[in-house]
């Protein structure tokens, strides 16, 4: 971690981690983040699918999209990723909190092109829909040229990971009369819903089974 | 909505809505967002609890926190709120997508003070933990002075709501042989976990029951 104040943990609650494995675990679990940049001196943000690929994060969007016109090659950006893991119900309002894991990556976006872009998009698809590219027809040249693939490097000192876990703290003074504890939260998948127009008779594929395993009920 | 390009929907997928009720429904359901601002010309982001209170969004943090030093009174900010509602598994990679609802609010943060800040913090607590302020000891002057309460106005043209829902589109050409459809996602609450140190014997309170109802299994 650097001395950059933006990379320093200053809140008393919560914990920072500089372990890449901890960061990677969050990035590999949560498929969406918020990408922010600066446009005409003003903050500009958009939620986005993403996928980690080694020491970089891959993002994509339509070449015609306002979103990606703003965050083009060379734009300074943050990608914020959050998992809300529970409500911490404390003995007073002040100590009430959330259990969470979060990461803010900072860096400069790079636009991939040619075979690198095609490979990046394939990786992104297969991370979000595990193995899906093997189940469907290949992308066409037209589709690939309509899609921008951006890369945000994960470098030392370029990210801040924070988390809180566990229960609430007891009061210093007299014991509380209130219930205290945690209400855990998690994202769960429901039953897959086949498109009504799809009369292929194809069974629920491996990619969908993988998503169901990632979000168990 | 204004002509500001940042408030205009340009992606072909997804739908915008200018209905305040639609926006409010999302803001009232999702308790966390990503607050972004500009620091020294660079984007700066932090995940935050928030609560809508009429035509404003309330945020809070520690007076000593780096997070809130950066987004002080008068800072231009975005608050991005997202609900990932499902994976859209299409006949090819290009059409694969997500069902979601998202909002990006843009505005200038205002710091509340005195009784307004105290009331704002109480509202924030009671939105996140419904009715909790009636179940616990009141906040002390010391606690209130250690906490900053910020307000972000919700004004016409200052926000962009987007969503996608429903299944995937069929191919234009020959029918797909692949399974297509949606894997729905939602946030569910687990069994409340009482703090081990808490020997009050207090039953699970109304605030926790309200959280459980908001995140059904």
Whether A179 sits inside 8 A of B208 (CB atoms) is yes
CA–CA separation, B17 vs B205, rounded Å? 37
Please judge whether A128 and B87 are an interchain contact, meaning their C-beta atoms are less than 8 angstroms apart: yes
CB atoms within 10 A of CB A59: 25
Neighbouring C-beta atoms of residue A55, cutoff 10 Å: 12
Residues of chain B in contact with residue A43, where contact means CB-CB under 8 angstroms, are 36-38, 43, 76-78, 106
Query: How confident is the model at residue B2, as a pLDDT?
Result: 35
In CATH, what is the architecture of A5-214? Roll (2.30)
Chain B contact for A167, CB < 8 A?
yes
Beta bridge partners of B97: B88
Task: Give pLDDT, residue A71.
Answer: 74
Of B96, B146, B189, the CB nearest to A132: B96
**Assigned CATH class of B5-168+178-189+202-214:** mainly beta
**Which chain B residue's Cα is nearest to A176?**
B200
Q: Test A36 with B39 for CB contact under 8 angstroms.
A: no
Owner of token pair 């734009």: A75
The answer, for B76 touching chain A at a CB cutoff of 8 Å, is yes
Summarize chain A as % helix, strand, coil (round to 5): 25, 40, 40
Q: What is the pLDDT of residues A32-59, one digit of tens each?
A: 999 999 998 999 999 999 999 999 999 9
Q: How far is B133 from chain A (nearest CA, A)?
A: 7
The ranges assigned to domains in chain B are 5-168+178-189+202-214
Interface touch B136/A92, C-beta < 8 Å: yes
- B165 to chain A, closest Cα gap in Å: 12
State yes or no: pLDDT of A73 exceeds 80: no
Per-residue pLDDT, A16: 87
Please count the residue pairs, one from chain A and one from chain B, whose beta carbons lie less than 8 angstroms apart.
319
- The band of A3, judged by pLDDT with boundaries at 50, 70 and 90, is very low
Smallest CA–CA distance, residue A165 to chain B, in Å, is: 12
Interface residue A177 vs chain B (CB under 8 A): yes
Pairwise pLDDT comparison (B18 vs B63), residue with the higher score: B18
Helix (H) or strand (E) holding B186: strand B181-189
A9 confidence band (pLDDT: 50, 70, 90): very low
The model carries a pTM of 0.92
**Whether residue B12 has pLDDT greater than 90:** no
Long-range contacts from A110-118, C-beta under 8 angstroms, 24+ separation: A110/A73, A110/A74, A110/A150, A110/A151, A110/A152, A110/A153, A111/A72, A111/A73, A111/A148, A111/A149, A111/A150, A111/A151, A112/A149, A112/A150, A112/A151, A116/A149, A117/A144, A117/A147, A117/A148, A117/A149, A118/A144
pLDDT tens-digit series, residues B177-200: 999 999 999 999 999 999 999 999
Q: What is the pLDDT of residues A81-122, one digit of tens each?
A: 999 999 999 999 999 999 999 999 999 999 999 999 999 999
Q: ipTM of this complex > 0.90?
A: yes
pLDDT digits (tens, 9 = 90+) for B52-107: 999 999 999 877 666 666 777 788 999 999 999 999 999 999 999 999 999 999 99
- Residues from chain B contacting residue A47 (CB–CB below 8 Å): 80, 82, 100, 102, 104
- Burial of residue A79 (number of CB atoms within 10 Å: 0-12, 13-18, 19+): buried
């Amino acid at each position: 971690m650097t001395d950059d104040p933006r990379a320093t943990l200053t809140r008393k609650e919560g914990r920072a981690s500089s372990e890449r494995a901890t960061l990677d675990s969050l990035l590999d679990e949560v498929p969406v983040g918020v990408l922010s940049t600066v446009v005409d001196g003003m903050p500009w943000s958009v939620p986005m699918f993403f996928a980690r690929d080694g020491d970089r994060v891959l993002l994509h969007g339509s070449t015609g999209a306002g979103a990606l016109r703003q965050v083009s090659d060379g734009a300074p950006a943050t990608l914020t990723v959050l998992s809300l893991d529970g409500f911490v119900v404390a003995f007073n309002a002040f100590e009430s909190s959330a259990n969470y894991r979060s990461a803010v990556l900072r860096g400069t976006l790079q636009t991939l092109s040619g075979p690198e872009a095609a490979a990046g998009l394939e990786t992104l698809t297969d991370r979000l829909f595990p193995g899906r590219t093997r189940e469907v027809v290949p992308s066409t040249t037209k589709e690939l040229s309509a899609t921008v693939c951006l890369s945000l490097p994960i470098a030392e000192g370029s990210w801040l990971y924070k988390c809180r876990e566990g229960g609430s703290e007891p009061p210093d003074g007299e014991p509380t009369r209130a219930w205290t504890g945690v209400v855990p939260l998690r994202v769960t998948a429901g039953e897959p819903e086949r498109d009504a127009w799809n009369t292929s008779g194809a069974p629920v594929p491996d990619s969908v089974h993988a998503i169901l395993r990632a979000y168990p009920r």
